[in-house]
């Protein structure tokens, strides 16, 4: 037994010596210290004034928040409004008695909405059209009908409830409805189109947790109920069957040249293009095969650094998340306002992690390492990059950057055999 163990030890020592001797040879794998990383800075002159921002289309999807509010944008000379819609259909089919009808809402976040009462929060009964959560938008409640006015959701689509008892305690809103509201939903269930929540206060918005978030924070309807005279009064709750929000928009896709603007509502994307000459990487030494050299060098890190120009009209606090995409076309639409600047086919996601920062930060740093790698390797043509917020359509965050960005690149030249 000891003899066998001794043989194994000898074998391990021999293998170790072989590996040690191999790693003493110069090789490009990295056991021996190779070329040092090099840092280069590209100033704004490399961009050649290639700065554009463009409005994009609004989408509809199930978010974990309901948005209501109003903002006027100086960037596109328009007023942005959002209305929250809630509908309850999981309610009794008939009743003998209904009392103590109350709707509870949980606030997720807010801006300039410090007081919540019946002067700041408006609630109406939707009267014009039934709507569905997955298809409703500003111009239409379903994919086959419009709201009563072709221009979009408006006061013609609801009747305002006057003088409701609205209170707020610790970010929880309680709205007491007349019993007749729920009675009407039951008696006239074919016209139970739900309610709308909005504000007439300028420069303010509020996000409310939707039913997609959790039952604990979902809008919840409470009421006391007896179906027949003989029944005992019971305490009932109902969660929304549908909840969504719609926001004012149009079919005009404005373009902004020499401006870098990001906005969530109305969505605004940014486009920029920078020169990346081979000499940035090859002027360190004499190169015989530039293509091979560029394919073999390592882009350790590449960052696009944008500077907040502090001219945003929207919330002064908050966090914005930006994703960079590589542009696939050199024929972008900069002139026709009936179409966005970039279609879905014009850019590709390289699955770069989102970059985030405070709206009040002076600099916003975006990781574009994979994009620069794609350019230097020759895998993609340099047609520019598109930048967008990952929370488009979800809130009123807006931010503008100046047009003097920089790019910092750290790269390691390939190991060259002597």
Question: What confidence score (pLDDT) does residue 29 get?
Answer: 44
The predicted-structure confidence for 18-52, as pLDDT tens digits, reads as follows 433 433 333 344 445 678 999 999 999 999 999 99
Report strand pairing: 165-169 vs 158-160: unpaired
What is the spatial distance between Cα 208 and Cα 104, in angstroms, rounded to a whole number? 11
Is 101's pLDDT higher than 80? yes
Burial label for 417, CB within 10 Å (0-12, 13-18, 19+), is: exposed
User: Longest C-alpha distance within the chain, in Å?
Assistant: 99
What is the spatial distance between Cα 169 and Cα 122, in angstroms, rounded to a whole number? 18
pTM of the model: 0.82
The percent of residues in the chain predicted with pLDDT above 90, rounded, is: 67
Domains and CATH numbers, the chain: 33-56+251-412 (2.60.120), 65-247 (no CATH)
Is 3's pLDDT higher than 60? no
What is the spatial distance between Cα 196 and Cα 125, in angstroms, rounded to a whole number? 6
Number of DSSP helices (H) and strands (E) in the chain, helices first: 5, 25
What is the spatial distance between Cα 418 and Cα 416, in angstroms, rounded to a whole number? 6
Report strand pairing: 234-238 vs 319-327: unpaired
Contact 268, 387 (CB under 8 A): no
Contact 185, 221 (CB under 8 A): no
How would you classify residue 195: left for phi > 0, otherwise alpha for psi between -120 and 50, otherwise beta?
beta
Question: How many Cβ atoms are within 10 Å of 398's Cβ, its own excluded?
Answer: 25
Is 273's pLDDT higher than 60? yes
Residue of 313, 310, 324, 317 lying closest to 365 (CA atoms): 324
What is the spatial distance between Cα 220 and Cα 142, in angstroms, rounded to a whole number? 24
């Amino acid at each position: 037994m000891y003899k066998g163990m001794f043989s194994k030890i000898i074998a391990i020592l021999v293998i170790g010596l072989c590996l040690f001797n191999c790693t003493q040879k110069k090789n490009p794998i990295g056991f021996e210290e190779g070329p040092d990383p090099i840092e280069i800075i590209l100033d704004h002159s490399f961009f050649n004034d290639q700065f554009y921002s463009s409005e994009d289309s609004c989408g509809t999807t199930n978010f974990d928040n309901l948005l209501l509010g109003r903002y006027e944008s100086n960037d596109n000379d328009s007023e942005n409004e959002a209305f929250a819609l809630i509908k309850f259909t999981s309610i009794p089919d008939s009743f003998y008695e209904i009392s103590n009808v109350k709707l509870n809402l949980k606030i997720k976040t807010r801006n300039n909405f410090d007081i919540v009462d019946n002067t700041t929060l408006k609630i109406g009964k939707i009267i014009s059209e039934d709507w569905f959560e997955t298809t409703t938008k500003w111009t239409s409640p379903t994919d086959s009908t419009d709201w009563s006015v072709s221009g979009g959701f408006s006061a013609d689509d609801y009747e305002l409830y006057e003088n409701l008892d609205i209170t707020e305690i610790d970010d929880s809103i309680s709205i007491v409805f007349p019993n007749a509201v729920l009675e009407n939903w039951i008696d006239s269930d074919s016209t139970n189109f739900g309610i709308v929540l909005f504000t007439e206060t300028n420069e303010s918005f509020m996000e409310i947790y939707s039913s997609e978030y959790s039952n604990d924070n979902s809008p919840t309807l409470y009421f006391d109920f007896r179906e027949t005279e003989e029944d005992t009064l019971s305490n009932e709750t109902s969660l929304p069957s549908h909840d969504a929000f719609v926001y004012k928009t149009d079919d005009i896709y404005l373009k902004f040249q020499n401006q870098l603007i990001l906005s969530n509502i109305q969505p605004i994307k940014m486009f920029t293009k920078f020169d990346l000459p081979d000499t940035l990487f090859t002027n360190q030494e004499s190169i015989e095969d530039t293509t091979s050299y560029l394919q073999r060098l390592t882009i350790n890190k590449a960052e696009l650094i944008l500077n907040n120009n502090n001219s945003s009209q929207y919330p002064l606090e908050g966090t914005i998340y930006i994703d960079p995409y590589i542009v696939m076309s050199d024929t972008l639409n900069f002139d026709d306002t009936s179409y966005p600047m970039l279609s879905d086919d014009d850019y590709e996601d390289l699955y770069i992690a989102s970059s985030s920062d405070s709206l009040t930060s002076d600099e916003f740093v975006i990781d574009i390492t994979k994009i620069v790698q794609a350019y230097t390797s020759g895998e993609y043509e340099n047609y520019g990059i598109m930048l967008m917020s990952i929370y488009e359509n979800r809130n009123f965050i807006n931010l503008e950057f100046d047009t003097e960005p920089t790019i910092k690149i750290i790269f390691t030249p390939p190991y060259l055999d002597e």
